[in-house]
Amino acid sequence: MEKEIPVASLQRLPVYLNYLKSLGRTEGNISSGAIARALGMGEVLVRKDLAYTSARGRTRTGYDCGELIAAIEDYLGCNRILPAVIFGAGALGRALMSYGGFKNYGIDIVAAFDTDPQKAGKSVADCKIYGVGEARGVISQTGARLAVICVPAAVAQEVCNTLVGCGISAILNFAPILLKVPDGVNVRNIDVAASLAILSSRI
């Protein structure tokens, strides 16, 4: 991925992929207009989204079906697997461990960590929960650079520091606080309540 893609565009790529695969053909062409009509979307939007991939549509003939499928799969990382870990195996952490959607983007949740000794050693959906003391060893062994933080706000900064110390360089943060991280570490926040509040302002 070379250009920075907006989340909304990235979210639509698996939708295009599923649609193209559902057609059951890898030969012949398909136009952005046909894709747009089938999915009830605007044609300009479809073309803009697909331009993030390496697929190039041609005037009048459109995209080569097989090439377009391959380009989206390549962009989404379906052909590589990136290991990631989850910190916090509470209700949300366990929900994410059971969630199958990560593989759509070539992401494999390889381990979870929790401070509760009662949880260590257990597994959720084939993903093992480790104690915090094992974080450095497990992260180094799996080569994970991605982490998801699902702990309460009060301990999120401490967990973040630990993860960064273990070599994690990209963090998806569910705790409703702003994490302070060194240069070179990327953080993305998902604040469910804030998203709901944005919606509520439009009612």
Question: Which span sits near a copy of itself by CB under 8 A: 29-37, 60-68, 110-118, 145-153?
Answer: 145-153
SS3 assignment for the chain: CCCCCCHHHHHHHHHHHHHHHHCCCCCCEECHHHHHHHHCCCHHHHHHHHCCCCCCCECCCEEEHHHHHHHHHHHHCCCCCEEEEEECCCHHHHHHHHCHHHHHHCEEEEEEEECCCCCCCCEECCEEEEEHHHHHHHHHHHCCCEEEECCCHHHHHHHHHHHHHCCCCEEEECCCCCCCCCCCCEEEECCHHHHHHHHHCCC
Q: Is residue 60 involved in binding a copy of itself (CB under 8 A)? A: no
Q: Is residue 149 involved in binding a copy of itself (CB under 8 A)? A: no
Cα 7 to Cα 90: distance, rounded to the nearest angstrom: 26
Nearest distance, CB of residue 91 and a copy of itself, angstroms: 4
Nearest distance, CB of residue 186 and a copy of itself, angstroms: 5
Q: Is residue 151 involved in binding a copy of itself (CB under 8 A)? A: no
Which residues in 71-90 contact a copy of itself (CB under 8 A)? 76-77, 82, 84, 90
Q: Is residue 154 involved in binding a copy of itself (CB under 8 A)? A: no
Residue (70 or 190) nearer to a copy of itself, CB: 190
The only residue of 26, 115, 161, 189 in contact with a copy of itself, by rule CB under 8 A: 189
The only residue of 26, 54, 104, 161 in contact with a copy of itself, by rule CB under 8 A: 104
Q: In this structure, are strands 29-30 and 63-64 parallel, antiparallel, or unpaired?
A: antiparallel
Residue (64 or 88) nearer to a copy of itself, CB: 88
Nearest distance, CB of residue 62 and a copy of itself, angstroms: 21
The only residue of 47, 54, 145, 161 in contact with a copy of itself, by rule CB under 8 A: 145
